[in-house]
Each structure stands twice: as C-alpha cells, then as structure tokens.
Amino acid sequence: MTEPDAPSLEQLLAGAGAPGDLAPRVAAALGLEAAARLAADPWLILSVPGVRPEAADGFARSVLTGAAGPEDPRRARAVLGWLLDRAALDGHTAQPADVLCSALGTLGFTDPAGALQSALEEGDMLAFSNAVEDEDEQDDGAGAGSGGEESSGASGLMISRERYAFAEEGVGEAVQRLLATPEPLGAGWDRLDTSGDRIHGELRDAVGAHGLTLVATAPGIAKTAQIAGFAEAAAAAGVPVAIVGGNAASVRTLNRELGGTELTVLSVPEYLASLGRGDAAEGGADSAAGAGGAVANASGGAAAAATGVIGAEADQADGPASSDPTGSGTDSDSTADTDTDSTAAEAAAEAERAEAHLSSDPTGSGTDVDPGSAEAAEPAGPEFAEPQAGLVVVCAAHQIDAEALAALLDAVPEGMRVLLAGDPAEPGPAGPGQPFRDLVDTRSESLLAYTSDGRVPRVRAADSEPHPLTDLRFSLREGELPPPENDPEKRLVIVPVRDAGEAVARAVQLAADSIPRTFGLTADDIQVVTIRAAGDAGAETLTRALRERLGTEQVRALTAREALGGTWPAAVVVLDGPSSGSLTRALVYGLCGLAERHLSIVHGAGSALPQAVTNVPDRPRHTRLPAVLREL
C-alpha cells in the first residue's frame, strides 16, 4: 500500500472550518512548508495575525484528531509567544512572568509556571531578573512596572522575545562603544558658530566632549529648528554630518528646515543602507511602522471576520493595540500601530540558508572548499575600517523603537559621535520599546567612567521665546490644562463640537478657509490630525472631506501616530468622543506640539480631555534597557 499524500494547507484549514481567505496569510507567516509545519505543530497557527488561542485549539483538535491536550508543550510555547507578541503591540519588549502566568491560567493551563518553564526551554524566549524594574517602581512610584502586590516565584522574572532582548542589549553595547571611542572633531569644532541659538554653545561643548549626547528638547515651537540649525553649523565647521529623523513626520520637517542647504535628509533604513546595513534594520523599521528618519551628509488590509473553528480579529490600521494578555477582548486604547512584522520562521529560514552557504563556502568565493585545504584551515581574518571623525544627529529619537535604534547605533562608523534629540514627555515609538526615554531616565555605575552622575551625557534644550503654544505645552507637561487665553493673534483656538459629523465639518472649514485666510498659509502648510484612521471622525473620513472641499487628491489627514515627531506651520487637531479613551497626557502634549504658528483644537472629547491630562500620564511600557545599562 502507498501512504496517502500529506494534506495541503488548504485541506488542513478547510477541515477545521477556517475561512477560505486565511490560507494566504498562513503561508505568508509560516512559509512554503506551512502545511508540513502545521501538521507537526498545529498551534503554530497562532503566529498568524488575528488568530486567537481558542481558535488555535480548535484547529489543533482537528489536525491531531482529538489528541490535542491543553497542557501540550507545543501549545504552551505558542500561547506564550502569542501573549508576548500581543504585549509588543502595546510597546512592551518584556512582560513580568507572574502576569504571563496569570494569563496562562486564564487560558486553561492548570500549571502555568510549568507551562512557562516548558516554553522557555523550547521557544525563542528568554527570562531575566525583574530586580531593576522593581527598583525603578520603588524609586519613582511609577514607570514601566505593573504595580500591585508581588508574589514569590515567577514574579522575580521578566520574559522577553529573543529579538527584543538582543535589540535592547545591542543598544546598551552601542552606548558603551560610542562613549568610549569618539574621534577628535578637528580644529574647526571649537570655532563652530553658536550665534544661531543659545543652546548651540552647550551642544558644542557636550558633543565635543562625549561620543554620545542626549538632548531633551523643550516644549517650545522651535524644537526641530534648534537641532537642525546645530547640524547645519557643524557641517559649516567642516565636520561630516549625518541627520537622521525618528519617523517619516520628522523627516518632512527636517527637509523643510534644511531646505536650501547642502544637507541631504534620508530615512533610518536609507541611512543604514548607505552603510551597507539595510537588512539589519528591516525588522526594527517594520515594527515601528516604517520608522522613518533622515540622513543629512555634508559630504494591511482588514482581515475577514472568522467563521467556524478558526477566528480572525479585524486588523486596525491605526487603532488600539491590545494590552489584554488573556485575549478576553477587553483592549486598552493606544496610538500604536498593529502592523505585524516579518515572522521569526522566515528569519530562521534565512539564517539556515546563510549558515549552509557559509559552511560550504567560508571564503565567499562561490566555490566549495575542500575541508582539508589550506584555504579552509586558515580563513582570512576580519578587516576593520579606520576610525573616522564625524557626527550623526538624530531628531525625534523618542519615535525610534528598540530594534531600529539598536540597528542604527550599531551601524554608526567607529569614531563618529552621536547626538540623540527627542522629547521623553511625548508618546513613545509605534514599535516595542522606549529606548530614548530609558536612556534619559537611567543611571548606571558603568557610565561613571564618562559622566559624574552615571547617566548618558545630556543637554536640555533651551526654552523658546514666549508663545501661547509653548505656554500650553509647558502646562500640559506638568499635568495641567489651563483655560484658553484671549489671544488677539489667534495662535491657539479651541473649537467645541457635539458629535463626529460636526467635528469633521469644522475641521474642514478651519483647514480650507479660516486658517489660510487669517494667516496667509497654503494647504501644504496646514495639517489635519485625528486620533484614529477609521471612524466617523477618523483620518480616512477627514481625508475624503478635505479632498472634496479643496478639489485635490494631494491633501491627506494624518493619524496621531503618523503626525507625532513632525511640525507644520499650522495644525488642526480633532479630538472626537469615540476616540477619547485613547487620550493620555503624553498624547495631548505631543499633539499640541505639531503646530509652529497656529493650532486649532476641534474638541469633542468632553471631560475625557482634562481627566487624561491630569490622571493618565502615558501608557506604561515594560522594557529591559534600564537593566541592560546597569549591567554593562
């Protein structure tokens, strides 16, 4: 007798009652061998975006014909990975083990600690001491910790995907390397023109003394202009300068600020590619929703609703990522994108191919080498580039996630100095981690060799000249929402609305008529921003309304996530009622920093706005970078 052919992917899914459009998504996540992999481990289907544990359990019962048990080690590994991936959508690079154990118990594991241990032994996950995060909570009374009573056992651990653990370790190692290996910037550095801004003198001294410097930008309206001006002055002093933006919005702003200069503005992936490191940033850039940036050198569609056994959550182009590790459906609001990254399976397959190639061809010549030959026995030693002087200026660094920043700092040539400028009071990046904020907040004994206080060297940007928008941002940063002042120049206007329809109408009227007429601005100078992509007052609805009013296809409303990190001469921020649950002090502060000359706030959020400013500083993130810095 001949053995029956193995079932195809479509047959496996159809046998479980899955929707017909699921197969392409499964193949994209699991690769060409998806059917064989699922036949051996059906819970791998949890790596497909939108599939939940209860649906994966049903699929496993179908594939294994009833032999699928709730304590199966394969289930533990897949469910733990799913929980960590869900947390990553909310910006976490790690999760407390006791939180994960609680979620595992909710999902049917009778021995959550045992399931956790089993998953750690077989999966791409690592466990670390939780001591530093506990210390941060005691010192600050807030931060990335989960709070609440601690229990013994698993509560002393943090669990992380390997990719995020390695990224944060990479940031820590890069910090140490940059501080230890700066090359002199040349005689022209001390003569750098600092007349353009009072902060430039402090920056000249700090950058001249250290290989890595942080700048906590002030709430003022000229935050980007200050840093761009310093980069321009450094280039004029003869220093090779690269300018990198934290996301696409910051790139647009930098291009506008540096227009007419010889400086070229690129994205983070483009900067990495210019150094032959493009592939290194692929994961980080994707996880940050295309973490855009700029380099200046002086030299998803929605998933179908599931029926039957397999379920699929509808993707939200700019909606809240879930912070509900149990998958119960109670999601918290957030501005994080929910785009998914390349799968670990694809990365592993690529690594296997590279390893196989190297093992048969260690010279890279394209021909196999006899293992007994001299060439095989004596491979060529590594070649190291000569250190080079120069400066990499990174704007909106708080919008760069852990993986992207690790790739960026690792790619900086030996000897070059780095200036990271960002605002830790604004929301963190779209992807997992908050490396800039962690670098600003963390003290480490290992850094005492470079600074007297054990922190990464930093400069606080000078405050801008008095302006209603600057005053508002200072108040918001302190948790206060002041009443609007009577400003005859109308630089800040609050427009109350009752519902989403009125919000759209008023936003379009402001952007298309009132603001251009009052301030002499064009449509390109005015940006309309709302919290979400979808909804009655979402970016998609506003974009259609703006195009209809203006008669052009070029205009587009942005979501908060897309706009943060950039500035425009004027901005119209729409805060509608249905999106009010997303509001935090950090988000409101960030949105109020989008405008340079005029800001209109279309306010339909009611009491949610003052409550968020007063009581909800930001969505906390669990990260390991502070521990990494202290363990250097």
Answer with the residue of higher pLDDT: 302 or 549. 549
pLDDT of residue 340: 35
User: How far apart are alpha carbons 152 and 159 in whole angstroms?
Assistant: 16
Beta strands in 162-250 (DSSP E): 212-216, 241-245
User: Cα-flanking dihedrals φ and ψ of residue 297, to 5°?
Assistant: -125, 120
HSE value, Cβ hemisphere, 13 Å, CA-based, for 90: 23
Write down the mean pLDDT value for the chain: 82
pLDDT of residue 224: 86
User: How far apart are alpha carbons 15 and 38 in whole angstroms?
Assistant: 13
Checking if the pLDDT of 509 tops 80, the result is yes
Residues in Cβ contact with 441 at an 8 Å cutoff, skipping those fewer than 6 apart:
424, 626
pLDDT in tens, 445-503: 999 999 999 999 999 887 677 889 999 999 999 999 998 888 899 999 999 999 999 99
Using an 8 Å Cβ cutoff, are 144 and 96 in contact? Answer: no
Residue with tokens 């699928």: 68
Instruction: Tell me the C-alpha to C-alpha distance, in Å, between residue 329 and each of 88, 218, 320.
Output: 17, 39, 12
CA–centroid distance for 72 within its chain: 34
pLDDT in tens, 402-443: 999 999 999 999 999 999 999 999 999 999 999 999 999 999
HSE value, Cβ hemisphere, 13 Å, CA-based, for 277: 19
In the chain, count H helices and then E strands.
Answer: 26, 13
* Tally of CB atoms within 10 A around 470: 20
Nearest to 538 by CA among 231, 316, 373: 316
Compute the average pLDDT of residues 20-48.
95
Domains in the chain and their CATH numbers? 9-161 (no CATH), 167-299+386-464+623-630 (3.40.50.300), 480-615 (3.40.50.300)
Beta strands in 167-322 (DSSP E): 212-216, 241-245
pLDDT of residue 137: 52
Give SS3 for 161: strand
Q: pLDDT confidence of 193, banded at 50, 70, 90?
A: confident
Using an 8 Å Cβ cutoff, are 570 and 526 in contact? Answer: yes
Q: pLDDT confidence of 34, banded at 50, 70, 90?
A: very high
User: How far apart are alpha carbons 71 and 64 in whole angstroms?
Assistant: 14
Lowest mean pLDDT among 8-22, 365-379, 451-465: 365-379
Q: pLDDT confidence of 186, banded at 50, 70, 90?
A: confident
State the burial class of residue 378 (Cβ atoms within 10 Å of its Cβ: 0-12, 13-18, 19+): exposed
pLDDT in tens, 196-227: 777 889 999 999 999 999 999 888 777 788 89
Lowest mean pLDDT among 257-266, 347-356, 565-574: 347-356
Supply angle C-alpha 22, 26, 30, rounded to 5.
180
Tally of residues, the chain: 632
Give SS3 for 16: coil
Checking if the pLDDT of 303 tops 80, the result is no
Checking if the pLDDT of 362 tops 80, the result is no
What's the alpha-carbon Rg for the chain, to the nearest Å?
Answer: 26
Instruction: Tell me the C-alpha to C-alpha distance, in Å, between residue 174 and each of 456, 517, 628.
Output: 12, 50, 11
Using an 8 Å Cβ cutoff, are 361 and 367 in contact? Answer: yes
CA–centroid distance for 166 within its chain: 16
Return the structure tokens found at 144. Answer: 């990335």
pLDDT of residue 388: 83
Helix (H) or strand (E) holding 392: strand 391-395
